[in-house]
């Protein structure tokens, strides 16, 4: 995810239809805008976060192009739980709002989020690219950026 953001696998079902991982975001850092392509529940264990939720408004017909619309921004506090649900509540970015400590969230996802090819979006260039986030505590056996 970049910027020293770590995604730590805690549990993965044999069929990879369920994973539990922690996401650690350094103070003031923000994840790229991304999707999960799965349902999920996220609980904030430590720190604070600001989640910005987006909706894709183009039809996806032009490869590498994506237009997003910001639909919500909300503060997540320690102990709060929120859901991820494609297609309308899946594209987001997360910022750690704490000054001295990282934010730590626990994700329960309906896929193997670190291993599946997902999408990373860029608002400024209106672009999208495939990526795999991987897990910080597992060796990466495949490239994180899909080669076209």
**Contact call for residues 56 and 148 (beta carbons, < 8 A):** no
Alpha-carbon distance of 135 to 64, in angstroms, equals 25
Residue 133 gets which letter from DSSP? -
**Beta strand ranges found along 5-47 (DSSP E):** 6-12, 19-25, 33-34, 40-46
Residue 141 has pLDDT above 80, yes or no: no
Pairing of strands 19-25, 6-12: antiparallel
CA angle 8, 9, 10 (to 5 degrees): 110
Least confident piece of the model among 11-25, 82-96, 131-145? 131-145
Is residue 110 within a helix (H) or strand (E), and if so which, with residue range? none
Exposure string of 40-56, with b = 16+ CB inside 10 Å and e = fewer, is bebebebbbbebbbbeb
pTM above 0.75, yes or no: yes
- Interval 44-78: pLDDT, tens: 999 999 999 999 999 989 999 999 999 999 999 99
């Amino acid at each position: 995810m970049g910027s020293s953001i770590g995604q730590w696998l805690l549990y993965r079902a044999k069929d990879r239809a369920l994973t539990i991982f922690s996401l650690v975001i350094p103070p003031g850092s923000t994840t790229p805008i991304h999707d999960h392509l799965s349902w999920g529940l996220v609980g904030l264990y430590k720190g604070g976060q600001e989640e910005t939720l987006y909706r894709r408004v183009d039809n996806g017909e032009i490869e590498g192009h994506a237009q997003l619309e910001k639909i919500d921004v909300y503060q997540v506090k320690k102990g709060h739980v929120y859901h991820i649900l494609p297609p309308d509540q899946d594209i987001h970015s997360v910022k750690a709002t704490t000054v001295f400590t990282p934010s730590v969230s626990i994700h329960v996802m309906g896929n193997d989020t670190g291993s599946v090819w997902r999408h990373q979006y860029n608002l400024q260039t209106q672009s999208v690219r495939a990526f795999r986030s991987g897990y910080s505590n597992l060796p990466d056996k495949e490239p994180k950026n899909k080669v076209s």
